[in-house]
Structure 1
Amino acid sequence: MLGTLVAVLVSLITWGGTASAHGSVIDPASRNYGCWQRWGSDFQNPAMAEQDPMCWQAWQADPNAMWNWNGLYRNGSAGNFQAVIPDGQLCSGGRTESGRYNSLDAVGPWKTTDIGANFTVKLYDQASHGADYFLVYVTRQGFDPTKQALTWNDLQLVARTGRYAPSQNYSIPVNTSGYTGRHVVYTIWQASHMDQTYFLCSDVNFR
């Protein structure tokens, strides 16, 4: 039993190492980054099932999704995002990486980050890929992510940027109005080093 546990932990550390080459939105935290941040050091704690049920189902489905919190991308989309990512699969990047991130599409009460009408999306890019652009969307008022699967028609574009030079930290200022309560902030990051695109769901509560 002990040997099995050690083998599992070693494999998880190995998986985690692959995450270092990419990036994700860290504020407001993307779904899998938030799960890793809250539970990475205690991911086998059964209390998670009651305290953080959406993260619990994600850890149970595939711990790789959290250890590789910054590997949720697709190559070769050529900007045709709606063509390669079906409705209901936006948070997994269209079930990218052989379905590793499928649990992020699950509908339910994901933990939220409180934000105001004007907020900043902060993205960590460990590999310094740079960005051709970022697109930031907010779900329409009235959409309920605890009960409805996310579709492209639910998104409203609130920010589009130009190029960002390679760095490890990017900040995207976003100005909105009219949003209240629970929403999903959906960030698309088009990296500069190749046609590699990241699709990132962050659950928020507009104060």
Structure 2
Amino acid sequence: MVACTFVWTPTASAHGTIVGPATRAYQCWQTWGSNHTNPAMQQQDPMCYQAFRSNADTMWNWMSALRDGLGGNFQGATPNGQLCSNALSRNNSLNTPGQWKTTSVGSNFTMHLYDQASHGADYFRVYISKNGFNPATQTLGWGNLDFITQTGRFAPAKDIRFNISTNGSYRGHHVVFTIWQASHLDQAYMWCSDVNFG
């Protein structure tokens, strides 16, 4: 069902993103990409509205939030408060605290990467914001995260899925922070997905 939502976008270079649970930029594109001139966005989705107004490229290039050559030094190369943008200045609006739209998940859920270029993965690292962290009022830093898992390798494919299991202690709005270390080059992608644990 998700695959039907993909249409060509004017990305500088096509890569991928976590589409489930949707990253902030992908959620904005999925909801407003074909309706971005609708003034209702300001009231109905103020976080996407501020992101689009800050830099429309954040929405259009939802596939291209990558940095080269980090050598696995994700924390050292990514300052606190810049995790959701992968320290890319053009995507700085994604770091803004607020009422981002959430995806409802349970204590166990599936992550879904859509990668148009089929790069594969050396691994994914997945974190969840700690209990007590408020995404509506706080910017995300490394100290706000619980490490959940690191996967193994994945062969090149357009769709990669893997399961996440938590201890069941999370409730309400949390941020799932994902790092994708692509296999074809030393390219690191980092994203925030807003979820609601029921």
**Who is 2:172 aligned against?**
181
1:96-140: CA deviation from partner (whole Å, max 9, x where unpaired):
2xx211110111110000000000110101101110000011001
1:19 shift after superposition = 5.3
Counterparts in 2 of 1:10-29, with a 5 A limit?
16-18=9-11, 21-29=14-22
**Who is 2:4 aligned against?**
none
- Return the alpha-carbon distance in structure 2 between the equivalents of residues 37 and 59 of structure 1: 13
Q: How many residues align?
A: 191
Q: Give the root-mean-square deviation of aligned CA atoms.
A: 1.4
Structure whose alpha-carbon radius of gyration is higher: 1
- Return the alpha-carbon distance in structure 2 between the equivalents of residues 112 and 142 of structure 1: 17
Asked whether 1:143 is paired with 2:136, we answer: no
The secondary structure found in structure 1 opposite 2:140 is coil
**Who is 1:108 aligned against?**
98
The secondary structure found in structure 2 opposite 1:100 is helix
Asked whether 1:154 is paired with 2:144, we answer: yes
Say whether the 8 Å CA contact 1:19–1:67 is kept in structure 2: no
Show structure 1 runs of 4+ deviating over 6 A. none
The secondary structure found in structure 1 opposite 2:51 is helix
Counterparts in 2 of 1:67-86, with a 5 A limit?
67-86=60-79
TM-score (norm 2): 0.93
**Who is 1:60 aligned against?**
53
Name the amino acid aligned to 2:50. Q
- Return the alpha-carbon distance in structure 2 between the equivalents of residues 157 and 30 of structure 1: 18
1:18 shift after superposition = 2.3
Structure having the higher helix fraction is 1
The secondary structure found in structure 2 opposite 1:21 is coil
- Return the alpha-carbon distance in structure 2 between the equivalents of residues 20 and 180 of structure 1: 37
User: Please, which of 32, 43, 49 is the counterpart of residue 39 of structure 1?
Assistant: 32
**Matched residues, percent identical?**
55
- When residues 54 and 172 of structure 1 are mapped into structure 2, their CA distance, relative to the original with a 3 A threshold, is same
The secondary structure found in structure 1 opposite 2:29 is helix
**Who is 1:198 aligned against?**
189
Name the amino acid aligned to 1:196. Q
Q: Unaligned regions of 5+ residues in structure 1, if any?
A: 1-13
**Who is 2:122 aligned against?**
132
1:142 shift after superposition = 1.0
